[in-house]
Amino acid sequence: MSSMKAVRIHAYGSPDVLTYEDAPRPTASEGEVLIRVYATSVNPFDCAVRAGYMSAYFSYSLPLILGTDVSGIIETVGDGVTDFGPGDSVYARAGVTRDGAYAEYVVVPASDVAAKPQSLDHINSAAIPHVILTAWQALIEVADLSKGQTVLIHGAAGGVGHLAVQLAQWRGAEVIGTASVNLDFLRELGVDETIDYSTTRFEEVVSEVDVVLDLVGGDTQQRSWSVLKPGGILVSTVQPPSEEAAAAHGVRQQFVSSTPPIGKVLTEVVTMVDAGQIKPVVSTILPLQEIRKAHELIEGRHTRGKIVLRVVN
């Protein structure tokens, strides 16, 4: 069996468990494609898997390769795959329930793959899949955000947040965003109202919003109920909201985990990216070998946009 370089974990724990090493190169089965990874990115989900927090939800086998984003070139296709062929430049969401893209090669179901945006290189394309799918499900599929509505986005400068801002603007909504050290970044994105959560309690200056997108959880989520208008909705990607609290405030709630039709949504997003409606922001580019540093940066919780790992120079 041929091998490849990959980052694997053999046990759950701190970033120290991330090991850059030789691993078996996968092969594409029926309905799958083998992608030569040019770039991948780091998401809080990856850190949660590494720490063991997701083992209660998914049946992982160790050693495990993390990584839910990939941009690269198709190496081979499995039986039954007709939409893609060797040499195609694609991006996709990988991993989640099996070996992911912190590697030179990754196998992905063809239904989770889309042609890479023509206007972006692999580095920037790798910053998109997981976070845009999360934001899409939260704002488009669940909240059904529409023109003239107002959305409050907590953690608006992060990976999901900065693309959620752009999705909301695409839908014609007014956007209020919370951050601390990245307020200027939010203004650059065109956020209508910015709130420094380190100096201002958002519930004292915000009211009657249609949607709250909670990317933070904890006390921030609990304080968000009061800013919603009757019938509004709180959508969280990090912590299931209380059904009882929602009922008490006369609003709705939903927890999302980015499970829309992946290939279909990524294909639609390509059109938006190439039209200039969606633009990922990459704040840091590191080689795959520096994966531990990347996880430490993510867990610092002040990331602007995305951290991308370069696999092919």
pLDDT at 96: 87
Mean pLDDT for the chain? Answer: 96
> CA 119 → CA 16, 132, 277, distances in Å?
36, 17, 12
Rounded CA-CA distance 89/23 in Å is 24
**What mean pLDDT do residues 87-114 have?**
96
Does residue 1 register a pLDDT over 80? no
b/e 167-199 (16+ beta carbons within 10 angstroms → b): bbbebebbbbbbbeebbebbeebebbebbeeee
pLDDT at 258: 59
- Give me the domains of the chain, ranges plus CATH numbers: 3-128+280-310 (3.90.180.10), 131-255 (3.40.50.720)
Which helix (H) or strand (E) segment holds residue 58: the answer is none
pLDDT in tens, 53-80: 998 888 899 999 999 999 999 999 999 9
**What mean pLDDT do residues 305-310 have?**
96
The answer for 96, left when phi > 0, alpha when psi is -120 to 50, beta otherwise, is left
pLDDT at 286: 98
pLDDT at 257: 76
Does residue 300 register a pLDDT over 80? yes
Residue 272, exposed/middle/buried by CB under 10 A (0-12, 13-18, 19+)? middle
pLDDT in tens, 23-32: 999 999 999 9
Does residue 303 register a pLDDT over 90? no
Does residue 133 register a pLDDT over 80? yes
Rounded CA-CA distance 4/36 in Å is 11
b/e 100-111 (16+ beta carbons within 10 angstroms → b): bbbbbbbbbbbe
Q: Residue 177 forms beta bridges with which residues?
A: 153, 194
What single letter denotes the amino acid at residue 154? H
Look-up of token digits 């909670």: 214
pLDDT in tens, 161-188: 999 999 999 999 999 999 998 999 999 9
Rounded CA-CA distance 12/4 in Å is 22
pLDDT in tens, 213-261: 999 999 999 999 999 999 999 999 999 999 999 999 999 999 997 576 8
Does residue 7 register a pLDDT over 90? yes
**What mean pLDDT do residues 123-127 have?**
98
Does residue 282 register a pLDDT over 80? yes
**What mean pLDDT do residues 11-15 have?**
97
